[in-house]
């Protein structure tokens, strides 16, 4: 299992000096960095690739369909095409960075209106869009992952089972599953059983506590999760997704003293679990 951290843990520094963040992630002893691609036009991909190579740090990427202009489930064909093209640009950037895995909330716009669930074509549009994106990713040797999120953030894919069903509908072998323990803690009945159900389709995990605070201080049953990971012999990515210093977007109160504390204590907590369950 590869332990990493999402670059948004240092959002201010990431915006100003991404190379400094990459070096810091390496110094902290992580196996990889997850680079968000929401602001794709702002990234200096060649420089990032050079820095990653210089420090010998692995990378994966992720994104979120954040607004109506890139919703691949929109009733407007032009919007759907725009969303597909955006995801293709993410695939291209992923390949340019030297990464082979791209994932996230890529099947529909986040915080989509709840009544869209009752529109007959939403699942059809998502399936068609992801099929096109997956086939494009295959040309670059890239695997993509769909991330189920909780009912308050989407009406489409809330559980691992739903993600697996969507994967089967798309029918492309390079489409896999990306689970997040924050969302799992809300939507799944049992973390162990969910990991077992995902099996070899699981390619990425976001390791988040139930309140998005410091790992081990909330209600996530980490032993159940890691027991499942051991039994499926998980060798994929698992990153700490820290949003402590992103006020107004995700949180409204102090979940940890700062990002650095959450990340460093989280790393120690997860390294110990990896050792306990022989995932190192």
pLDDT digits (tens, 9 = 90+) for 116-146: 555 668 999 999 999 999 999 999 999 999 9
Contact yes or no for 175/167 (Cβ under 8 A): yes
Which residue reads 């799992």 in tokens? 184
pLDDT at 120: 64
CA distances from 216 to 8, 207, 267 (A): 21, 11, 11
pLDDT at 219: 97
Q: What is the pTM of this model?
A: 0.95
pLDDT at 258: 87
pLDDT at 253: 79
- Nearest Cα to Cα of residue 250 among 158, 109, 153: 153
Hey, which bits of the chain come out as E strands?
2-6, 32-36, 58-64, 101-105, 143-146, 175-180, 202-206, 237-240
| CATH code of the domain occupying 2-276 | 3.20.20.150
pLDDT at 76: 93
Cα angle 250, 255, 258; round to 5: 100
Cα separation, 278 vs 266, in Å, equals 18
- Nearest Cα to Cα of residue 73 among 141, 129, 145: 129
pLDDT tens digits for range 232-260: 999 999 999 987 766 555 667 788 888 89
Please classify residue 252 by burial: count the beta carbons closer than 10 Å to its beta carbon, then call 0-12 exposed, 13-18 middle and 19+ buried: exposed
Instruction: Give the DSSP letter of residue 213.
Output: S
pLDDT at 112: 72
pLDDT at 16: 79
Beta bridge partners of 202: 177
pLDDT at 118: 55
Low-confidence stretches of the chain (pLDDT < 70) are 113-120, 245-251
Please classify residue 1 by burial: count the beta carbons closer than 10 Å to its beta carbon, then call 0-12 exposed, 13-18 middle and 19+ buried: buried
């Amino acid at each position: 299992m590869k332990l990493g951290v999402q670059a948004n843990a240092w959002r201010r520094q990431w915006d100003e000096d991404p190379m400094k963040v990459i070096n810091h992630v390496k110094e902290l002893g992580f196996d990889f960095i997850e680079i968000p691609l929401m602001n794709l036009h702002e990234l200096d991909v060649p420089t990032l690739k050079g820095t990653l190579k210089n420090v010998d740090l692995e990378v994966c990427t992720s994104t979120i369909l954040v607004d109506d202009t890139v919703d691949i489930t929109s009733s407007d064909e032009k919007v759907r095409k725009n969303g597909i093209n955006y995801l293709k640009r993410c695939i291209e950037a992923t390949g340019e960075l030297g990464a082979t895995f791209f994932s996230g909330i890529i099947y529909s716009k986040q915080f989509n209106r709840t009544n869209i669930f009752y529109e007959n074509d939403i699942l059809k549009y998502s399936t068609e869009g992801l099929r096109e994106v997956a086939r494009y990713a295959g040309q670059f040797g890239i695997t993509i992952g769909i991330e189920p999120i909780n009912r308050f953030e989407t009406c489409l894919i809330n559980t691992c089972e739903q993600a697996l069903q969507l994967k089967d509908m798309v029918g492309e072998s390079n489409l896999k599953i990306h689970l997040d323990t924050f969302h799992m803690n809300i939507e799944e009945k049992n973390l162990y059983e969910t990991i077992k159900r995902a099996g070899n389709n699981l390619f990425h995990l976001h390791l988040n506590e139930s309140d998005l605070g410091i790992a081990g201080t909330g209600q996530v049953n980490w032993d159940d999760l890691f027991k499942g990971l051991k039994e499926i012999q998980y060798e994929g990515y698992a990153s700490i997704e820290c949003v402590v210093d992103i006020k107004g977007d995700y949180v409204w109160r102090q979940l940890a003293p700062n990002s650095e504390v959450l990340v460093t204590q989280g790393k120690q907590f997860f390294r110990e679990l990896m050792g306990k369950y022989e995932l190192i």
